[in-house]
Structure 1
Amino acid sequence: MPTACRALGLGRTLGYELARRGEFPCPVLRVGRRYVVPTAGVHALLGLGSATRPHGSAAVDGGVEPTQGA
């Protein structure tokens, strides 16, 4: 939640208040007492397109992507 708030330019208190009211600008999941904001929703809201890279593409930092089951 705090990372999503920073990315959206919201203060932490306002972000949590919006989440409690169901008015956060992207989907929020309630996991126990925690609020979890999936990165895909934040990326979509910011117009960053798909949150994942196409299969087989190189990692941005030049690292090796993990294989399935790793």
Structure 2
Amino acid sequence: MTQVSTETHALTREELLALPASIDIVTAGRAFGVGRTTAYALARTGEFPCQVIRAGRAYRAITADLLRVLHISSENGDGAGPCTSDAA
């Protein structure tokens, strides 16, 4: 039987990079600093900050998109992505 974690701390860069291909909506919410209720509400309304899929009654966040939105990759050491401006 799997033990359910009740930790609510924010995820570190290392924890984010170690995530599987898709994660539950509560874990994804932790990456964005939002709680369980807010994460589900955003997923239901299609406003979650990264791609979310519906798997039966559950919501799953796509880890690659979560990392893209947070500008985190294994190549950048500090987790900060490039600042871009569309202004010409």
TM bucket normalised to smaller:
0.5 to 0.7
For structure 1, the 5+ residue unaligned runs are 54-70
SS of 1:37's equivalent in the other structure is: strand
- TM-score, normalised to structure 1, is 0.67
Match of residue 12 from structure 1: 36
Q: What runs of 5+ residues in structure 2 fail to find an aligned partner?
A: 1-24, 76-88
Q: Which has the higher strand share?
A: 2
Identity of aligned residues (%): 51
Give distance in 2, aligned partners of 1:49 and 1:27. Answer: 17
How far does the alpha carbon of each residue in 1:11-33 deviate from its partner, in whole angstroms, 9 at most, with x for none? Answer: 11001001000110111000100
* Greater radius of gyration (CA): 1
Q: Residue by residue, what CA displacement relative to the aligned partner does 1:27-48 show, whole Å, maximum 9, x if unpaired?
A: 1000100000010011001101
Root-mean-square deviation (CA, aligned residues, Å) is 1.6
SS at the partner of 2:43? helix
Which structure ranks higher in relative contact order (CA pairs < 8 Å, sequence separation ≥ 6)? Answer: 2
Q: TM-score, normalised by structure 2?
A: 0.54
